[in-house]
Amino acid sequence: MADTVRVRFAPSPTGELHIGGARTAIYNWAFARAMGGTFILRIEDTDPERSTEENKQVILRAMRWLGLDWDEGPEVGGEFGPYLQTQRFDTYTEALEILKERGAAYPCFCTKEELDAKRAAAEANEGGYSGYDRTCRALSAEEAQARIDAGEPHVWRLKVPEDHGPVEFDDAVYGHMSFPIDVMDDMILVRTDGTPTYNFAVVCDDANMEVTHVIRGDDHLSNTPRQILIYEALGRPVPTFAHLSMILGADGRKLSKRRNATSVEEYRDRGYLSDALVNFLALLGWSLDGETTIIDRATLCREFSLDRITKKDAVFDETKLDWMNGQYIKEMGADAWAQASRPWLVQSGADEADIDARPEWYAKLYPLVAERLQRLDEVPDKLAYMFWGGRVELDEKSVTKILTKEGARADEVLRAVRDILADESIPWECEPLQERVRTLTETLDMKAKGVFQPVRVAVCGNMVSPPLFESIELLPREDILARIDQTLSEVFGA
């Protein structure tokens, strides 16, 4: 076994990287970083129908977006490669030969029909099915070899030692675990077509890659005693296991594609920041001190430890994720925000070339919304008005409530404001413009709300918007005047 910590994340490329898998990857990555160890990415691509190159790229893309850099694996290499199971079949063949030589594996010629019949008979009796009845274990070596030589289809099974006591191990999360040996049947290691079963392949890979800690979901807990028997049969050291509790939805049920967004790229496309998602997922079952909520990557990689993982099922609270994402948006800074928001700025009406040509202008949009965003996909709703040019899209409810409300005098206000905004002697800046418009409260004998709200609707289309005069400062004078003129014409016929 390696002297330093070696952990692995081993997804199957059969679809997207889901939230549960992402949390497992984060825990492995953070543990490796905290311990000065090695984080391995291994692709378990032995499902020929669902394991595609495209799906592999989906996994790698999601890992890169999350910022989970791997030390060994696809596109990186490493001395324990290759890192795709389909390229490691020679290692499984070698391991099976070792087990044969040790008398720890035997061929089984029972057909599926025979096994199904035995299962049905056993389940019909009290006590039920207790696994394979070891019919072929009793065959002599000579008879077994003769049947193999004759081309009879067969699998290879593990010969579980009859004198073995309970399979026991100390799980880093669940504590001491013990499984009675009589529930461990002689499992299949290699199928009739020569392909390894999951439990055999994963043990061979982890052993050959000198993995020291296996951190994975507790749905694998029942596999662990079986895998330990394979380690023992191969004479290889057993790694430390840490099994992670389930992630539940807010409804207390397991996350489901039908009820929840479940893939990493869905959250990316909904405008979550990778830093926020990593922070949030890290806290689904682990805590720094029971109190700290915002934990940056550096802290996570320095402080992560297995002893602070809880056995309790974690609840995926999207409201909390939204809040956390909002905190990260507030702290990310204007330039990073403008870059991260590009897809949604384009949705708002921005031109890609203009974003490149005027980065400083786009950075100035950030203060308008930094306190108001929880997700980046809210950008179009908040900032579309900044890309309307000289036209305005008036919200009917705002028109009724602000502009045409009895006694509002909105047309009078807009004409007076237009005169001020058309005065080129006033600097086109937030403060002087706002102060001059504020004087209308005395001139027109109106409250500030009565003056400013009609302007907000005429400029932003809505009575709810980011800061008004900070917005006006960023737009051309002629566009603002054109919007006011349009509003006066459409609403008041003036």
Paired strand residues for 179: 167
Burial of 308 (0-12, 13-18, 19+ CB in 10 A): middle
170 CB-side CA count, 13 A? 3
C-beta separation of 231 from 238 below 8 A: yes
What b-and-e string marks burial along 210-245, b requiring 16 or more CB atoms within 10 Å of the CB? bbbbbbbebebbebbbbbbbbbbbbebebbbbbbbb
Distances (CA, A) of 380 to 144, 326, 347, 369: 70, 16, 6, 11
CA-to-CA distance for 30 and 308, rounded, in angstroms? 13
Find tokens 């609840």 and name the residue: 315
DSSP β-ladder status, 105-108 and 213-217: unpaired
To which H or E segment does residue 18 belong?
A: none
Structure tokens at 189: 């290691």
Please state at what angle helix 274-282 crosses helix 53-66, rounded to 10 degrees: 90
Helix residue ranges, H only, 172-273: 198-208, 224-234, 264-269
C-beta separation of 189 from 99 below 8 A: yes
Paired strand residues for 329: none
To which H or E segment does residue 156 belong?
A: strand 155-158
CA-to-CA distance for 11 and 51, rounded, in angstroms? 10
User: Which DSSP letter does residue 291 get?
Assistant: S
Structure tokens at 365: 């949009």
* The one-letter amino acid at 99: L
CA-to-CA distance for 314 and 49, rounded, in angstroms? 33
Active site residue 257: yes
Q: Which of 100, 254, 257, 397 is catalytic?
A: 257
405 among annotated binding-site residues: no
436-442 long-range contacts, Cβ below 8 Å, gap at least 24?
437/469, 440/413, 440/416
CA-to-CA distance for 209 and 98, rounded, in angstroms? 17
Catalytic residues: 257
Please state the residue numbers annotated as binding site for ATP: 257
